[in-house]
Amino acid sequence: MKQIKVKNITIGSKAPFVLIAGPCVIEDPKDCFDTAKEIQKITRSLGIPFIFKSSFDKANRTSISSYRGPGLSKGLKVLKKIKDELNVPILSDIHSSGQAKEAARVLDVIQIPAFLCRQTDLVVAAAKTGKVINIKKGQFLAPWDVAQIIKKIESAGNKNIFITERGTSFGYNNLVSDFRSLVILRRFGYPIVYDATHSVQLPGGKGTASAGEKHFVSHLARAAVAVGCDGLFVEVHKNPKKALSDGPNMITPKELKTILVQATGIDRFLRSFRIKK
């Protein structure tokens, strides 16, 4: 298993699992900063490495009238303030090749959105920045199909990669988590992250917006850590019911802490065993 470095954080192999967390999209800059600060306080108390995430633009919203975010320039300013003042690594997604260079000036990890993970020009442009790349596995992909995305990134000379599982389409407006996927994805030799909140999303479930089943988040997070993953990806909002994007599947900081206490317990328990061959 290859280890990936994101600033002073190590992901993969024998390193403790990492948390990637934050609001789905940047709404109010102060609320975004305060959420990052609160998550950092929780992770520090539990000894969990933390990467902050939030999107400056949600270009794949269900409805044309849905809130998308402040945009590239304004959004990066918000993320840079969080990065500089809290000294925390930053992850966000890009949606076009033209965003790659500007985003790379701030981001420590460039994320390829699940819906766009097969877009060759986007993937290669992100890879050429030299930044760590997080591939969100498309809901429409079998886990073994990720091999071709990895090859696209490696073709640009970049091997700083990790892969995030976020559920698989199962009929209309539904996702399921097949935990065999974590095992299969791990065979590629790169760290694996499990997205516990997008995996409970019901895409387009409300007609003009996505629905979600957040009551399953803690169960799936525990299961993923038990199966074996190098990190958890969790979207967090102070008041999910009032969130402008993905509210039905986001959790509160208080709920996050409970999940992390359970997850770290499972992770440490499993690491205490060494199988002799």
- At residue 109, the 3 state secondary structure works out as strand
Please state, in angstroms and rounded to a whole number, the distance separating the CA atoms of residues 26 and 35. 11
The total of structural domains in the chain comes to: 1
Residue 276 lies in a domain: no
pLDDT, tens only, 128-138: 999 999 999 99
What is the sign, positive or negative, of the torsion defined by CA atoms of 95, 19, 233, 215?
negative
- pLDDT score recorded for residue 208: 86
Residue 277 lies in a domain: no
- pLDDT score recorded for residue 274: 56
Residue 179 lies in a domain: yes
Alpha-carbon 230 to chain mean position? 12
Please list, in sequence order, all residues whose beta carbon lies within 8 angstroms of the beta carbon of residue 213, skipping any fewer than 6 positions away: 200, 202, 248, 249
Give the count of alpha carbons within 13 A of 235, CB side only: 26
Domain that holds residue 25: 4-271
Please state, in angstroms and rounded to a whole number, the distance separating the CA atoms of residues 52 and 20. 6
pLDDT, tens only, 179-203: 999 999 999 999 999 999 999 999 8
pLDDT, tens only, 11-54: 998 898 999 999 999 999 999 999 999 999 999 999 999 999 99
Please state, in angstroms and rounded to a whole number, the distance separating the CA atoms of residues 236 and 20. 10
Residue 203 lies in a domain: yes
Q: What angle do CA 138, 113, 94 make, to 5 degrees?
A: 160
- pLDDT score recorded for residue 1: 82
Q: Residue 83 above 60 pLDDT?
A: yes
Q: What is the pTM of this model?
A: 0.96
Q: Tokens standing for 39? A: 């998550």
Residue 209 lies in a domain: yes
Residue 97 lies in a domain: yes
**Quick one: what percent of the chain has pLDDT higher than 90?**
89
Residue 117 lies in a domain: yes
Q: What is the mean pLDDT of the chain?
A: 95
Q: Residue 276 above 50 pLDDT?
A: no
- pLDDT category at 60 given cuts 50, 70, 90 is confident
Residue 264 lies in a domain: yes
**CATH number for position 250:** 3.20.20.70
pLDDT, tens only, 130-180: 999 999 999 999 999 999 999 999 999 999 999 999 999 999 999 999 999
